[in-house]
């Protein structure tokens, strides 16, 4: 079977059809094919028999339990998936048996970006005899497909300069394409192309202009420099950290870019300017990396509304004319349909409530903004805005069904207050992500009704939703659609749901025991169709732990679960952690100091790793622990850890240039106060 599939894929590839979408039995590319529709032609599992699905096999992924974000790749009967610290596992697609494991030895000590990203990886690319993985410490590695042994290893960015990588590589025409991140701490973004066989760099496209005194790399950067008040991006930005697609018809690579810092554009680019190529969709020649066209979704951005999100390619009839298009639902809340032959905007409609702009002008392509949304211009220095910095749709992959013509968006709606704060380490602004004060108690956060998770079936031709299903919590998993008239999605509450693709009717649901962020895939093996879901919540989900709580969303194991119509296995019953909360070392009677610690915890973005209001993902198992379980030794060394970098090798960066001793003491008091509350709750 393996040889037959491989030969047929090569033959189909020679005539210009993506083998994964034409052959359809496996999931050979990140988005199911170069078009990244995440649609499968398989229909053995369909709306009539989906209720018979059961667990066929499961595999608990070893290592740090930091959650899963990767799309599994299925090639020649083997599943390839990544976990935190860019570990790669090869698993038999029929039995769930581990075949090999590759550990690239990622170091998380290089900087804040590198440390955060070490816990997230969105997958590999498989081509020929190679598995390609990008690491959090900026390496691009080719691993032998059958053995898991490294073949070549190149440095594609410098982790000491706040670069890192969480995204999956893409491969086409003998080249590997990879971006980087994270723009939030000052990296200057670029997309690179490497030779698949040797690992030698072929070309590089910078996304924002560098210092003109050093000379611009090309005419494109010279052009972009005119959109920056100082002639260049002093603090970097524009990282292509996720969406990269290869357009076979026009032989171009299309990718999305991040925003820049500070978030306040009056500081980032005093005097104005659109700031290219922040918040943009960019197309470059696949062979040379030369600029072809771009479309910027949010000129002069102030809200971190980046456009690095999933891009889908398709052919649509727009106003009576057949068009080659790309579709994206970026963070800003508008759904875009763009002519991918030239970058011209065709349609833009709000898919969630968007208060920062009333509409997108189709002639100019620019948003018609609500002036009150620009918090940096208001007298109070704050504005209530929807969507929030977390967006109306984040990185979680969408799906486009050839059967229904609908795009399925894993969306959510957050209202938030942006407010200027030069002391804020993340972009020089603060935001309450829950629709109320971030310093609210955990119970209040869980009861908040200002966040809505949604699965939206979007009609891109009509610019409106065909149907919508609300979820109990926001930030749910990626989506898969199939020819069986089905849509599959994992949820933040730990369910895998199957809905009818045409009407959105819930047909089947299964309790996975773990919250989901990653997307499901489907494949055929020996005449049996499987639906595969990576369960285990991670990434930015760490920040949302207080909202999720422990009762609504399961913080279960990182687990691959394969379903089939013949499946009859049961998942192990997860035992609730009885981890003892250590008695805090001192009383926290100084409530003003505790409150100051809350503010500093927020200002310094501690919650991005440790969970907002210091409620972490899990007490044990994860590489980033819940701070409320600190033992006496950790408390004793708190200032050495926070200020001096005692745990730098584990990814906890020294903060002595950011925090004073008194500020660190306030944060310590806040954590101790939080620990007391949990300790008293556990010892009623």
Task: Just list the catalytic residues.
Answer: 304
First to last CA, the chain: 61
Q: Which residues face 337 on adjacent strands?
A: 327, 347
Strands 252-256 and 291-296: unpaired
Half-sphere exposure at residue 166, Cβ-oriented, CA atoms within 13 angstroms:
27
Q: Residue 82 in contact with residue 125, Cβ under 8 Å?
A: no
| Residue 59 to residue 80: CA distance in whole angstroms | 13
| Residue 407 to residue 409: CA distance in whole angstroms | 6
C-alpha torsion sign, points 670, 671, 672, 678: positive
| Residue 444 to residue 53: CA distance in whole angstroms | 38
Question: What is the CB neighbour count within 10 angstroms for residue 429?
Answer: 24
What are 31's two structure tokens? Answer: 């988005």
Question: Which helix H or strand E contains 597, and what residues bound it?
Answer: helix 591-603
DSSP character string of 652-666:
----TTT--HHHHHH
* 3-state class (DSSP) for residue 130: strand
Taking every pair of Cα atoms in the chain, the longest distance, rounded to a whole number of angstroms, is 74
| Residue 415 to residue 438: CA distance in whole angstroms | 13
> For residue 398, how far is the Cα from the chain centroid?
12
| Residue 113 to residue 121: CA distance in whole angstroms | 13
> For residue 9, how far is the Cα from the chain centroid?
30
| Residue 5 to residue 23: CA distance in whole angstroms | 8
Cα–Cα–Cα angle for 303, 309, 310, nearest 5°?
Answer: 160
Can you give the length of the chain in residues? 684
Q: Angle 661-682/591-603 helices, nearest 10 degrees?
A: 110
Q: Which burial class, exposed, middle or buried, applies to 402 when counting CB atoms under 10 A from its CB (0-12, 13-18, 19+)?
A: middle
Q: Residue 196 in contact with residue 214, Cβ under 8 Å?
A: no
């Amino acid at each position: 079977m393996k040889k037959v599939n491989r030969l047929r894929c090569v033959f189909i590839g020679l005539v210009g059809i993506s083998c994964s979408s034409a052959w359809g039995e496996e999931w050979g590319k990140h988005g199911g094919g170069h078009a990244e529709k995440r649609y499968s032609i398989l229909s053995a599992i369909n709306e009539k028999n989906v209720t018979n699905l059961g667990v066929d096999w499961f595999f608990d992924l070893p290592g740090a339990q930091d959650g899963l974000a990767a799309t599994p790749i299925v090639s020649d009967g083997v599943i390839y998936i990544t976990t935190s610290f860019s570990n790669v596992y090869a698993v038999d697609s029929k039995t769930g048996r581990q075949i090999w494991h590759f550990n690239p030895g990622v170091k998380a000590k290089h900087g804040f970006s590198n440390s955060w990203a070490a816990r997230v990886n969105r997958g590999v690319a498989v081509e020929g005899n190679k598995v390609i993985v990008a690491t959090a410490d900026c390496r691009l590695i080719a691993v032998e497909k059958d053995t898991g042994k490294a073949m070549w290893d190149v440095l594609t960015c410098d982790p000491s300069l706040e670069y890192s990588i969480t995204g999956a590589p893409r491969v086409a025409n003998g080249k590997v394409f990879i971006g980087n991140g994270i723009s939030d701490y000052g990296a200057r973004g670029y997309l690179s192309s490497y030779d698949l066989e040797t690992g030698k760099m072929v070309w590089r496209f910078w996304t924002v202009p560098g210092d003109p005194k050093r000379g611009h790399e090309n005419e494109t950067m010279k052009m972009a420099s005119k959109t920056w008040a100082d002639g260049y991006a002093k603090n970097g930005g524009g990282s292509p950290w996720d969406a990269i697609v290869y357009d076979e018809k026009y032989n171009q690579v299309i990718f999305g870019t991040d925003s820049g810092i500070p978030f306040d554009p009056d500081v980032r680019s005093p005097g104005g300017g659109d700031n290219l190529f922040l918040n943009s969709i960019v197309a470059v020649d696949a062979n040379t990396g030369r600029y072809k066209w771009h479309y910027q979704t949010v000129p002069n951005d102030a809200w971190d509304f980046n456009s690095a999100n999933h891009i889908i390619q398709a052919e649509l009839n727009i106003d009576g004319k057949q068009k080659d298009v790309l579709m994206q639902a970026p963070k800003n809340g508008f759904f875009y349909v763009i002519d991918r032959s030239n970058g011209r905007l065709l349609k833009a409609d709000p898919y969630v409530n968007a208060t920062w702009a009333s509409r997108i002008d189709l002639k100019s392509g620019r948003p018609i903004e609500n002036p009150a949304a620009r918090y940096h211009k208001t007298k109070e220095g704050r504005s209530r805005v929807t969507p929030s910095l977390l967006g109306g749709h984040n990185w979680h992959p969408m799906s486009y069904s050839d059967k229904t013509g609908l795009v399925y968006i894993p969306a959510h709606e957050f209202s938030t207050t942006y407010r200027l704060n030069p002391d804020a380490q993340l972009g020089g602004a603060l935001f309450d992500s829950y629709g109320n004060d971030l310093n609210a108690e955990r119970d209040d956060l869980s009861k908040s009704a200002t966040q809505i998770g949604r699965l939206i079936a979007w009609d891109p031709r009509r610019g409106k939703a065909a149907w919508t299903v609300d979820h109990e919590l926001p930030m749910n998993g990626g989506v898969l659609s199939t020819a069986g008239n089905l849509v599959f999605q994992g949820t933040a509450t730990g369910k895998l749901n199957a809905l009818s693709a045409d009407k959105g009717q819930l047909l089947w649901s299964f309790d996975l025991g773990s919250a989901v962020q990653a997307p499901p895939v489907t494949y055929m093996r020996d005449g049996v169709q499987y639906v595969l879901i990576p369960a285990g919540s991670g990434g930015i989900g760490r920040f949302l732990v207080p909202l999720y709580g422990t009762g609504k969303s399961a913080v279960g194991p990182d687990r691959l679960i394969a379903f089939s119509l013949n499946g009859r296995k049961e998942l192990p019953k997860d035992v609730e952690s009885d981890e003892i909360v250590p008695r805090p070392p001192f009383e926290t009677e100084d409530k003003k100091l505790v409150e100051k610690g809350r503010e500093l915890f927020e200002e310094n973005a501690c919650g991005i790793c440790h969970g907002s209001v210091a409620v972490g993902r899990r007490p044990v198992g994860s590489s980033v622990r819940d701070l409320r379980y600190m033992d006496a030794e950790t408390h004793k060394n708190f200032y050495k850890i926070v200020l001096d970098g005692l745990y730098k090798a584990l990814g906890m960066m020294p903060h002595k240039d950011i925090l004073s001793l008194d500020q660190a003491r306030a944060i310590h008091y806040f954590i101790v106060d939080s620990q007391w509350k949990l300790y008293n709750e556990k010892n009623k």
